[in-house]
Amino acid sequence: MSDPQPAPGDLSVVFSAAPPPAEDAASLAPEQSGAPWFLPEDGPRPDDLASAVDVDADPVGAAATLAQIPVVRGAVELLAHVGEGREAGEVDVLDEHVGPWNALVAGRWLSRDGERIVPGEGMMPVADEAGDPAGFVRFARALLVLLVLEGLRQGPEEGGLFGGTETFTAMLCTVVPGGLLLPATISVALERGLVPDDLAGDPDMDEISRYWQTEHDLATLAAYGLLQRETSPGGEDIRYRGTPEVLVEAFAALEMSQELD
């Protein structure tokens, strides 16, 4: 297991309460100069962006919804596994726990003490879903924001995100019915004649880079446990599915990242 990444600046004030989610996540999308060729022309409808549960009216339902997001579920499992502390070698961070691990370390819920992994003070209490659903909602939302924020801070060279305009535009498309379908590789896209040409009539390398960086980020977000990634039976297409709950917190993280820069 690698050493935890340094925690971001103290953001505890941001998560001291659960503010209402943005009414329209699309309004937070960064401006874009031309729709990417690999994304659908029609964006999500308002109904696609609406959370299934009202946090204020139904905190129990909101907590249950957030608990089903893989990174949140994994974080709860990892905290239970660590308990009062374990030897670092005993904490097996499997692929499905990379996202939870990064978020818990960023939020100081877990830390390394010599050769041991121990629970940290945390930027807020770890609430139980059943015993304190409103507190669990705050905890879960903080996990989501911190994980995306940490990915943006790390950058692609360190296992993080490029974080370009297309990444967040693509995330908007993951919440539509059926999710976002992409060619699995640039080779598939070239074979299908999807990649725009440059002025010389050759495949535009800038457009190829746009696709590659976006698909890299979506795959990373799926590995974190923020999106669902499915490969078609023939391996030629990849489908990404997201949720409004993740989308809102991802855009909140983007906004915070821009303010911190």
Please count the residues of the chain: 261
Q: What pLDDT digit, counting tens, does each position of 17-32 carry?
A: 444 444 444 444 444 4
Would you say residue 13 has pLDDT above 80? no
> Would you state the pLDDT for residue 89?
75
Task: Name residue 117's beta-bridge partners.
Answer: 86, 112
Would you say residue 9 has pLDDT above 50? no
Q: What pLDDT digit, counting tens, does each position of 39-76 carry?
A: 998 888 888 888 877 888 899 999 999 999 999 999 99
90, with CB counted inside 10 A (0-12, 13-18, 19+), is exposed
Contact in structure between 249 and 145 (CB atoms under 8 Å): yes
Q: Where are the domains of the chain?
A: 47-260
* Single-letter amino acid, residue 88: A
Walk across the sheet containing 237-241 and list its strands. 180-183, 237-241, 228-231
Q: Can you tell me the distance from the alpha carbon of 117 to that of 101, in angstroms, rounded to the nearest whole number?
A: 11
> Would you state the pLDDT for residue 17?
40
Q: Identify the band that residue 94 occupies on the pLDDT scale cut at 50, 70 and 90.
A: low
> Would you state the pLDDT for residue 34?
63
pTM of the model: 0.84
- Report CA torsion sign: 76, 80, 86, 87: negative
Q: What pLDDT digit, counting tens, does each position of 185-244 carry?
A: 999 999 999 999 999 999 999 999 999 999 999 999 999 999 999 999 999 999 999 999
> Would you state the pLDDT for residue 21?
46
According to DSSP, the β-strands at 228-231 and 237-241 are antiparallel
More confident residue, 87 or 162: 162
Would you say residue 109 has pLDDT above 90? yes
* 3-state SS assignment for residue 52: coil
Q: Identify the band that residue 87 occupies on the pLDDT scale cut at 50, 70 and 90.
A: confident
> Would you state the pLDDT for residue 73?
96
**CA angle centred on 230, ends 188 and 96, rounded to 5°:** 125
Taking each helix axis from N to C end, the angle separating 133-154 and 244-260, rounded to the nearest 10 degrees, works out to 50
| DSSP codes, 195-229 | SPB-TTSSBPHHHHHHHHHHHHHHHHHHHHTSSEE
Mean local confidence (pLDDT), 148-161 = 93
1, with CB counted inside 10 A (0-12, 13-18, 19+), is exposed
Q: Can you tell me the distance from the alpha carbon of 227 to that of 223, in angstroms, rounded to the nearest whole number?
A: 8
Share of the chain above pLDDT 90, in %: 70
> Would you state the pLDDT for residue 95?
58
> Would you state the pLDDT for residue 125?
94
Mean local confidence (pLDDT), 93-117 = 87
Residue 19 contacts by C-beta under 8 Å, 6 or more apart in sequence?
none
> Would you state the pLDDT for residue 114?
86
